[in-house]
Amino acid sequence: MTTMTDASTRFREFRMPDVGEGLTEAEILKWYVRPGDTVTDGQVVCEVETAKAAVELPIPYDGVVHELRFDEGTTVDVGTAIITVDVAPGSGPAERSAPPAATGSAATGSAVAAAEPETGVGTGSGTGAEEKPAGRQPVLVGYGVAESSTKRRPRKGTAASGQARSAARTEAAAAVQAELNGHGTAASAAPRPLAKPPVRKLARDLGVDLATVVPSGPDGIITRDDVRAAAAPTQAPAPVAAAGQGAAPEQVAAEAAAAPSGPAVAGARETRVPVKGVRKATAQAMVGSAFTAPHVTEFVTVDVTRTMKLVEELKADKDMAGLRVNPLLLVARALLVAIRRNPEVNAAWDEANQEIVLKHYVNLGIAAATPRGLIVPNIKDAHDKTLPQLAEALGELVSTAREGRTTPAAMQGGTVTITNVGVFGVDTGTPILNPGESAILAVGAIKLQPWVHKGKVKPRQVTTLALSFDHRLVDGELGSKVLADVAAVLEQPRRLITWA
């Protein structure tokens, strides 16, 4: 006879790990497996996005996927089970006596709240699970309704026949559906429209009552297209325009961010995009930095004609062959030289101990705009690198960021940062400090401008630099010296040698 201990040993739950220091949640971006797939120890089963980066998660054991607990696009707390694996397939019916009960909310009387949170974001209580068909009736898997969990399947080892088990599943489906409708029995409950959490979120955003939508999906499930058709201006369902056709560009972009797999909605006046992942972390960090560290920003306009000539020469240098050589490389080297000449700028403020922490290393952050938002990975020990090594590190940093492969570790421990706003065609800005850092240098667009050179007005390559710094750590004199040194190196790049 199979016991509960045997069942609990057979089915292993893989929980959302903490993939970065201090992270509490992650969004499931993509599943690479489905129920019934065989997995092996170390195999990547899904990709998740934390507040810092996208990370692939490997499964730590062998077996067959029994259940995916959450849909793609669902945000899940660290420590919450996201996938169940049968590690002993073939040893009996793949049935469990009861799923884990909901956490973070009451198991009874709150099924509707658990199944349909206001923001459409799961919090570890089983709010993002997918709706799957079981026999003729859809079974809502993973919502953690304790009252119906004991009815879903008979215990293994009992004398229940296949017909009894089928009846139990049917009864469980009706019980769960009734619970989600807020009624005690299925017989007295009106059928609740079947739709996945992202579809319900879309319906709320568009003001569509799911009860009025005609489903077109399998087993009567409402799809995104069904909701969009119901939201069309006319009463009768109208064809939905393809993405980018019949809709404003900003609307298409916003809808693509909220629902990348679906077309834009023509005529919608507003689109709400959930704040999560990198965007959420960036917003929190910038608010915290702006209202914690007293910012001061200074500006200088400099002739970088000689630096631009050096860039062209380095591109032809055999020692730099195959490396990314651009003005940012020399700006980074100029900032490192300025920090060497003014080491007090490379520091951090320890509020808890009321201390200034002077750092004898430079982890140089580079602000990078990615499809998921702004991230700031840093080059570890940039002060120790030669120019070719710095070029190689910059190239790897940029490529990794664009491909979405930046790890949380690469974004921790930065000391100072460079943000190259010039690539967007603007002259400069007033950058906000990356939290925990003392300074950030903004580099503006390099433009051909009239400039007084050797007593005559000539066309020269000119740019504007802006340095923001934490005035608790850096006073005006020190900040001015650092910015002036950077400008001096870019104006006369031979100082890279004389000041080294």
Contact (Cβ atoms closer than 8 angstroms) between residue 196 and residue 128: no
Closest CA to 400 of 73, 53, 57, 56: 53
Active-site residues, by number, are 471
Contact (Cβ atoms closer than 8 angstroms) between residue 181 and residue 210: no
> How far is it, in rounded angstroms, from Cα 267 to Cα 297?
43
Contact (Cβ atoms closer than 8 angstroms) between residue 425 and residue 463: no
DSSP secondary structure letter of residue 19: -
Question: What residues does 123 pair with on adjacent strands?
Answer: none
Q: How many Cβ atoms are within 10 Å of 373's Cβ, its own excluded?
A: 16
Q: Taking the chain, what is the end-to-end CA distance rounded to the nearest angstrom?
A: 77
Closest CA to 97 of 168, 153, 41, 30: 153
Residue 95 token pair: 């049935």
DSSP secondary structure letter of residue 154: P
Neighbour-count burial of 128, counting CB atoms closer than 10 A to its CB (0-12 exposed, 13-18 middle, 19+ buried): buried
The 3 state secondary structure assigned to 225-238 is: HHHHHHCCCCCCCC
How would DSSP label each residue in 167-223? Answer: HHHHHHHHHHHHHHTT-S-STTSPPPPEE-HHHHHHHHHHT--GGGPPP-SGGGEEP
How would DSSP label each residue in 366-402? Answer: E-EEETTEEE--EETTGGG--HHHHHHHHHHHHHHHH
18, 234, 264 from 243: Cα distances, Å? 36, 20, 5
Quick one: CA torsion of 115, 117, 120, 123, rounded to 10 degrees?
-90
Q: How many Cβ atoms are within 10 Å of 448's Cβ, its own excluded?
A: 10
Residue 484 token pair: 């002036």
**SS3 (DSSP) at 477:** helix
Q: How many Cβ atoms are within 10 Å of 403's Cβ, its own excluded?
A: 10
> How far is it, in rounded angstroms, from Cα 89 to Cα 85?
9
Q: How many CA atoms lie within 13 A of 429 on its CB side?
A: 16
**Phi, psi dihedral angles at 374 (to 5 degrees):** -80, 130
Residues 6+ apart with CB under 8 A from 354: none
CA–centroid distance for 402 within its chain: 13
**Phi, psi dihedral angles at 436 (to 5 degrees):** 90, -5
